[in-house]
Amino acid sequence: MRFKDKVVVITGGNSGIGKAAAIQFAKEGAKVMIADLSEKMGDDLVEEIEKSGGEASFIRVNVTDFDDVERMFEQTLLRMGSVDVIVNSAGVLGPRMRTDKYPMEAFDKVIDVNVKGLWYCMQVALKHFMEKKSGNIVNIASVAGHVGMSGHIAYCVQNTL
Ligand SMILES: NC(=O)c1ccc[n+]([C@@H]2O[C@H](COP(=O)([O-])OP(=O)(O)OC[C@H]3O[C@@H](n4cnc5c(N)ncnc54)[C@H](O)[C@@H]3O)[C@@H](O)[C@H]2O)c1
């Protein structure tokens, strides 16, 4: 129970790495706030965690919206009393296409979610953590920041930032 009574917010907590982290943090005694786009998937995961004896809640958030990120944080404080850790796992890969054909909207979306979204979450969390003089931020990055991935221009660019 390494995280007994600690409050952990996980963006992108509905799926993949975020979901695995949510389940594991709950097993270690944390109160987990799953923050993601799909309410249905989030509610299902909360149920799964609660059935295993863990504590979790879901909040819908779009990390590309700064006000939404602030609301996620405020709601977590209200519902769970604290925030000790934020895991930033919300992310999108984007399409796999040649750079000369890569659609601008797809490029913007990858940057909005993976760069700006992460930045918003860090900034809001940091304000709170600086005030209380404690807190942990876990950002999920990719090997794509070190080696190229053919056809994934936006994803590789954001991982080098
Ligand atoms: N899967 C891998 O092999 C791998 C490897 C290295 C790094 N990563 C990184 O880890 C992170 C998670 O990857 P994953 O494979 O678990 O992905 P995933 O697609 O399984 O999960 C990502 C989650 O983020 C959520 N999300 C997307 N846009 C969002 C938004 N605007 N607001 C809130 N939530 C949003 C999705 O709904 C989804 O639940 C990503 O940042 C990814 O780049 C993944």
Q: Say if 103 falls within a structural domain.
A: yes
Which CATH number goes with the domain that contains 128? 3.40.50.720
Q: How far is CA 106 from the centre of its chain?
A: 20
Q: Say if 11 falls within a structural domain.
A: yes
Q: Say if 1 falls within a structural domain.
A: no
- Nearest-CA residue for ligand 1 atom 38 is 12
Taking the C-alpha atoms of residue 96 and residue 118, their distance in angstroms, rounded to an integer, is 22
109 lines ligand 1 (CB under 6 A): no
154 lines ligand 1 (CB under 6 A): no
pLDDT digits (tens, 9 = 90+) for 20-73: 999 999 999 999 999 999 999 999 999 999 999 999 999 999 999 999 999 999
Q: Say if 38 falls within a structural domain.
A: yes
pLDDT digits (tens, 9 = 90+) for 75-90: 999 999 999 999 999 9
Q: Identify whether 155 is a catalytic site residue.
A: yes
Q: Tokens 């996980």 label which residue?
A: 10
Q: Say if 41 falls within a structural domain.
A: yes
Q: Which of 73, 102, 107, 155 is catalytic?
A: 155
* Residue 158 DSSP SS3: helix
Separation of CA 144 and ligand 1 centre (Å): 14
* pTM, entire model: 0.96
pLDDT digits (tens, 9 = 90+) for 93-135: 999 999 999 999 999 999 999 999 999 999 999 999 999 999 9
Q: Say if 111 falls within a structural domain.
A: yes
- What domain range includes position 51? 7-160
pLDDT at 146 over 70: yes
Cβ-contact 68, 90 below 8 angstroms? no
> Which residues touch 65 (CB under 8 Å, ≥6 apart)?
none
Q: Say if 2 falls within a structural domain.
A: no
When divided into structural domains, the chain yields a total of 1
